[in-house]
Structure 1
Amino acid sequence: MKEYMKRLGIKNEVKMAVIVQRQVNPKLSGVIFTRSPSEPDRALVEFVEGSPEKLVGGRESGKRILLPRDPTKVKDPLMRELIETGLEVEELFRKPQDIEWAYDGTLWLLQSRDVTVFASKPEKTEVPGGWYRLRGIPASPRRVKGKAHFVLDDQPPEEAERVFPRGGVLVTYVLHAEYYGLFMKASGIVTKVESVLSHPAIIARELGIPCVTGVDVEAIREGDEIIVDGDEGAVYIKNPRKRFRKLDLWEASWREDELTKELGEEYLKALGELDSKKLERTILRAFELVRKLYPLNKEKAFNVYHFINTLMEEETPRILAERFSVAEVFARADRGERPRDETEKRLFEIYDVLKRFINYTDERVRNIPALLFGLGKTV
């Protein structure tokens, strides 16, 4: 809020209204753009199961559907009601709307704001030789070329803003509203989390700068010259490292071998037992193997690296979701709430372990991105 006030030139202390509303416990929730920022002739719906907090906070990527703006052409009853209601709100405000909604049997509109920017129909631009295309999702239109600078969410906002060069391209997993001053210095934004409702995507549209989400950011190095194409939903990287091409890391793939098989068995056993200590030991063992193998056997090192990250980021949420409402549990952990029972306490502990290793905030693995990708050396 302070950053918004600063941007608007408001220096005096202001009073804010407090809205008291009933808590909704939705089956589905998300956002509808009555005109998609990248395809204005259609509406865009993005949604998740349960609370919208995990979508906005970047903890989960939503399902995305492009729909015709004519409700009679939409078959799904909920999607048809969303389009009908969205168009009514658009008519009320006389501008296309970005509407957050929740559904618990009844469709609730949580808030609405003007869609701040649209893509013009872009001309197909030829990309010169020596560039490699990374696919993503268009979250804010326009196109920009600049140097990539990484910021991770464990870096204090003030420090990140201080060292980030004005006009640089911000590359990140996902960042939140407290980094608003940093966003204002960027000429474009690239994120790993694939959500048009994440904070970087929303703020990029407010600022009128291009943003592409859902990008394999591990393929980009600190200081690389890149093109962010927010119209097409692509990032072009110049002169990628030879070892990327050799190992085909664009796909971030891994192959099963004796190492990954043994690590996988240990990891899944610990996860099944909800034993955070065993899980932590297995993850540490995997990263120690990465250090031991690199650079003498780069292929095996990257294989283990991608394997353990796939387990943490993709397989763990999927497996736990079969037994628990993990998105809600993790959201409660993020809010600093107390666990309700012993099982939830174990899930909180597992979440803490995963966050530390996925974000590389644990001192024991902090140098892994620098070792493999050259990340964090100048940020």
Structure 2
Amino acid sequence: MICTYIRIKKRYILTYVSLLLTFFFACYYFTEYEKYTSPPVTRLGSNAYKKDQPQGVVQALDHGCYLQTSNFSQHQHSEELLAERNCRKKMPVALILGAALSGSATLKSALSFHPDVTVPEFTVPLNFTDIGPFLAKIPYSLPHQITVGESQEYLYMTDISKQMVTPVFPGLKVIILIRDPVARAMSEFLTLKSNSCSEVYRQSISKHLHLLVGTSRYDPHEVVKERSWTGKNSQLYETSPDDMHYNLEDTFQETVLESAQIDPVHFLVQRSIYGSGIRKWVRVIPLQNMLIIDAERFAKSPVETLKIVEHFLGLRPYYHKDFFSFDLPKGEFCFNSPLRSCVEPLPIQKPLPALSDEIVTLLRDFLLRSIKVQNKYANAYFPHLGENPLIYTPFR
């Protein structure tokens, strides 16, 4: 009896000690973890990280391996601090592909605040035959952080294949944001027609920059090729960037119409045929590694969308409803926490010009096949055919 009692007592004592040690180590782990995953907002001018702080900025967030300011610029810590925190450069586990002016930059900005994510400060061109420039722009990250890349041009890449992508990005996940395709085309037209349109944005469109100045659609000496839409191309009007039309006329209608019909090879139209880009990427990565998001839903309910993104990327929940101040019609996309920050809007003419019902109907009918393709791959339904109000404010 006594021996049995002692054994039971010893078992209880060992269990208690084990629980106590587990509790102690858990507290220590989370204390150390929070130092990096929930760093405080640093007021510039204080002693903390003084030599790493950029000048002329009120506040910056210590994101682990760099300070991130309220205008989303990044200022890398000293070599000593990078080594102390075991900062390393990592290849992205996910890419935000676009579509153009459908909120990809805003999504990247939102993810830049997540304590478990790092994002490149600038859009990084991706060339699978020369990955060096891409790697040079990748930020340092803490051991627990993942890197997510972004460019609205990734969706329109033509030179991608499984053999090219898999060795560089094994297990890659991609996020695609799509909006009403008519609104997307119109917002890009207004952006490019703006006198204050960024040259950087223009250059990101295409090597055909010199054609984006309202020049004539046709060269009188050009031999016009007769196009034949057969096979797979008949569904999505796939064409080479070299064969697209890049002219910008006085109005959107004049720009995208050809003989009273939609010009299928105008770049504004081509960039709204989401199904074409989606199908290219489906050939490269497994469908379960692709997340297609309704950009307009993201603008209206950012927390709901970010929860989906967090689950897709395997991140812990971080965002809350007071985090965001989004207004798609006004083109305002701001974050209230942990820093008050706003995505810089693209300037366009105001008031916004109206679109005729005729051109909207023509373009939506033309894009119907693409809508069906994107819904098939997304295994979801996107209300992009007039069920939402037509809001064509640029959504960076």
Give the TM-score normalised by the residue count of structure 2.
0.20
Greater Cα radius of gyration, structure 1 or 2? 2
Give the TM-score normalised by the residue count of structure 1.
0.21
Larger RCO, structures 1/2 (Cα 8 Å, 6+ apart): 2
